[in-house]
Amino acid sequence: MKEKFVGLALMLLLSALGVAAEAQQPGKVARIGYLSRDLHPADSRAPAPRNLEAFRQGLRELGYV
């Protein structure tokens, strides 16, 4: 009888701890878009993007990369 009581108490304790524990929600993810009239760099007809490298450098300086 004592073993059943200990087992039941342990099961209730673990259940209570499981309910109280919650997963940490991820913070807001920053997303930055870049609009351009140039063709995609993977396209063989595309000229080198004029301001893309400067844009990426600015993001690096701000800690986004």
Kindly calculate the radius of gyration of the chain based on its CA atoms and give it in whole angstroms. 28
Contact in structure between 51 and 34 (CB atoms under 8 Å): no
Please give the average per-residue pLDDT across 14-23, as a whole number: 68
Looking at residue 43, its pLDDT comes to 67
What is the spatial distance between Cα 37 and Cα 43, in angstroms, rounded to a whole number?
13
Contact in structure between 65 and 59 (CB atoms under 8 Å): yes
pLDDT tens-digit series, residues 23-55:
777 788 778 877 777 666 666 666 666 677 888
Please give the average per-residue pLDDT across 4-32, as a whole number: 76
Map out the domains of the chain as residue ranges: 36-65
Structure tokens at 31: 């997303």
What is the spatial distance between Cα 56 and Cα 10, in angstroms, rounded to a whole number?
56
Contact in structure between 2 and 10 (CB atoms under 8 Å): no
Looking at residue 61, its pLDDT comes to 93
Which pTM was predicted? 0.40
